[in-house]
């Protein structure tokens, strides 16, 4: 069968998965914690992403398995059926949380200036998920071409917005440096790294490249090229966007307006043109992220179902397209939108992907000779991701304890689901 996805499409899938609702949501949270140091904290989040990317690249080249996170752990620890089931369930629902985050952010921008109604916002969020579920079921090649268009146009728009913020910003360089020095004195390095861990979900998405291994050209070369290129491009874009935002938009506005802060700031500086430009960029960013995440995570769900750790009907495919998995992921993300708050969704995703990236780093270290991984790099990845996981859990415990309890309850439900699947299919 002809392979549908080349390097351009693979980079688009990775960037599409990363540059979604995250960058619009994390700005307010990071500014509230570390002020003008936010661009640097968000960039350090890119270093955490590279730690995770190293392991995914090595394992992806070695196994060439569309099951990615789940399959890598299962094949590295073939006797650990219970752990494999847990990882499959946790990872899939981590993706579902990011789908909900992207769709919620899309809806926030779609109705901006017209309505603040929560029912309308959630209805539009569910509708956009349904649209891209249809696109993913329709055609792999069609999805890839649409993704190319959305991703590269949105990158141009986001960079243009950042340049306009920097050029027309209300803060001159001397004042910015002075504020930066004050924030550096009042914020510890631990605060900065904690923000980096919390914003890790904004880099989630590079793993989606591996999910496309059965439909990509030359996996041996294109997996590392696509993943490393995408992480570096996205970290650079995030830094520039965050820098432009803190230069141009007052900190209190970034904190108050949350995911709509960029559009609000653009309107103050550039009028309706600037606001509309940000809105278009946000709609493209979240749309491509929804499409990429549905594409990759549905294949992982089907792979988990193939092994009997999820209901077997989810493994059904039309050609290479896992239609039932796509539909169920769209339904579950819609239910999460109805029931969850934006910040809970964001931080559940960050915790989940930090933890599973850590497990991938441990798996890669175990078979480092087979994957041809440098032991020092593999250990650095483990150490860095452990720090990130500890920091975000400590932050939740100290600052958002009720939220941590809610997130723990989600994990409990997922654990019960994983245990039931083991009992029914592997007794």
Neighbours of 215 (CB within 10 A): 22
Cα distance between residue 21 and residue 320, in whole Å: 28
Give this prediction's pTM.
Answer: 0.79
Beta-carbon contacts of 273 under 8 Å, excluding residues fewer than 6 positions away, are none
What residues form DSSP beta bridges with 321? Answer: 318
Domain ranges of the chain: 7-425
Nearest Cα residue to 12 out of 203, 146, 157: 146
Whether 28 contacts 258, CB under 8 Å: yes
Q: How many Cα atoms are found within 13 Å in the side-chain-facing hemisphere of 270?
A: 23
Long-range contacts of 133-138 (CB under 8 A, 24+ apart): 133/294, 133/326, 133/327, 133/329, 133/330, 135/291, 136/291, 136/294, 136/295, 136/298, 136/321, 136/326, 137/318, 137/321, 137/323, 137/326, 137/327
Confirm if 223 and 213 have CB atoms less than 8 A apart.
yes
Q: Which two tokens stand for residue 421?
A: 């699947």
How far is residue 354's CA from residue 411's CA, in Å, rounded to a whole number?
Answer: 14
Instruction: Give, in order, the Cα–Cα distances in Å from 389 to each of 94, 196, 324, 353, 384.
Output: 15, 11, 33, 9, 9
The three-state secondary structure class of 5 is strand
Contact assessment for residue 89 and residue 418, using Cβ atoms and an 8 Å cutoff: yes
Give every CB contact of residue 135 below 8 A, 6+ residues apart in sequence: 142, 143, 146, 291
Contacts of 122 by beta carbon, 8 Å cutoff, 6+ apart = 104, 107, 337, 338
Backbone φ and ψ for 144, nearest 5 degrees, come out as -65, -40
* Whole-angstrom Cα Rg for the chain: 20
- List of long-range contacts for 138-146, beta carbons under 8 Å, 24+ apart: 140/4, 140/5, 140/215, 140/319, 140/320, 140/321, 141/4, 143/291, 143/295, 144/4, 144/5, 144/9, 144/12, 144/13, 145/9, 146/291
Regarding the domain with residue range 7-425, which homologous superfamily does it belong to in the CATH classification?
A: Amino acid/polyamine transporter I (1.20.1740.10)
Structure tokens at 425: 């299919």
Q: How many CB atoms lie within 10 A of CB 284?
A: 23
Residue-wise pLDDT for 78-130, tens only, equals 887 777 888 888 888 888 888 888 888 888 888 876 767 788 888 999 999 99
pLDDT in tens, 281-305: 888 888 888 887 888 888 888 888 8
Per-residue pLDDT 10s for the chain (427 aa) are 446 678 888 888 888 777 765 677 677 778 888 888 888 888 888 888 888 889 999 999 999 988 778 888 888 988 877 778 888 888 888 888 888 888 888 888 888 767 677 888 889 999 999 998 988 888 766 666 777 777 778 788 888 888 888 777 666 666 777 777 787 777 777 888 888 877 777 787 788 788 888 888 888 999 999 999 999 998 988 888 888 888 888 878 777 776 677 777 778 777 888 888 888 888 888 888 888 788 888 888 888 888 888 888 888 888 878 899 999 999 999 988 887 666 667 677 778 888 888 888 999 999 999 999 999 988 988 988 888 888 878 877 887 787 788 788 888 888 888 888 776 665 5
Counted residue by residue, the chain has a size of 427
φ, ψ at 169 (rounded to 5°):
-55, 150
Q: Report the chain's terminal Cα–Cα distance, integer Å.
A: 37
Distance of CA 289 to the CA centre of its chain: 8
């Amino acid at each position: 069968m002809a392979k549908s996805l080349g390097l351009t499409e693979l980079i688009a899938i990775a960037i599409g998965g990363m540059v979604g609702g995250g960058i619009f949501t994390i700005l307010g949270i990071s500014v509230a914690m570390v002020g003008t140091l936010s661009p640097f904290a968000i960039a350090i989040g890119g270093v955490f992403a590279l730690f995770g990317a190293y392991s995914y690249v090595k394992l992806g080249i070695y196994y060439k398995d569309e099951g990615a996170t789940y399959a890598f752990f299962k094949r590295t620890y073939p006797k650990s059926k219970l752990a494999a089931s847990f990882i499959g369930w946790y990872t899939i629902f981590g993706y579902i949380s990011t789908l909900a985050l992207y769709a919620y952010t899309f809806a926030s921008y779609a109705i901006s200036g017209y309505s603040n109604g929560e029912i309308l916002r959630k209805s539009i969020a569910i509708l956009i998920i349904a649209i891209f579920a249809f696109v993913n079921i329709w055609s792999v090649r069609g999805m890839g071409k649409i993704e190319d268009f959305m991703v590269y146009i949105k990158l141009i728009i986001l960079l243009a917005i950042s340049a306009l913020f920097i050029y027309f910003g209300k803060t001159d360089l001397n004042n910015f440096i002075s504020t930066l020095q004050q924030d550096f004195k009042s914020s510890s390095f631990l605060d900065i790294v904690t923000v980096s861990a919390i914003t890790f979900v904004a880099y989630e998405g590079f793993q989606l490249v591996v999910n496309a291994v059965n439909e990509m050209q030359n996996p041996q070369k294109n997996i590392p090229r696509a993943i490393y290129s995408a992480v570096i491009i996205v970290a650079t874009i995030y830094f520039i966007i965050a820098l432009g935002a803190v230069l141009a938009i007052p900190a209190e506005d970034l904190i108050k307006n949350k995911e709509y802060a960029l559009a609000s700031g653009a309107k103050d500086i550039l009028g309706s043109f600037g606001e509309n430009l940000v809105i278009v960029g946000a709609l493209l960013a979240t749309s491509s992220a929804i499409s990429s995440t549905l594409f990759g995570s549905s294949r992982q769900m089907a792979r988990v179902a193939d092994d009997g750790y999820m209901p077997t009907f989810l493994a059904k495919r039309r050609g290479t397209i896992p239609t039932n998995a796509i539909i169920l992921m769209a339904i579950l993300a819609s239910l999460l939108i109805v029931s969850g708050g934006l910040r809970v969704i964001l931080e559940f995703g960050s915790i989940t992907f930090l933890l599973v990236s850590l497990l991938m780093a441990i798996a890669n270290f175990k078979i480092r000779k087979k994957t041809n991984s440098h032991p020092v790099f593999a250990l650095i990845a483990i150490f860095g991701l452990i720090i990130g996981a500890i920091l975000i859990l400590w932050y939740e415990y100290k600052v958002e304890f009720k939220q941590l309890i809610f997130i723990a309850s989600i994990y409990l439900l997922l654990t019960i689901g994983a245990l039931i699947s083991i009992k029914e299919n592997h007794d």
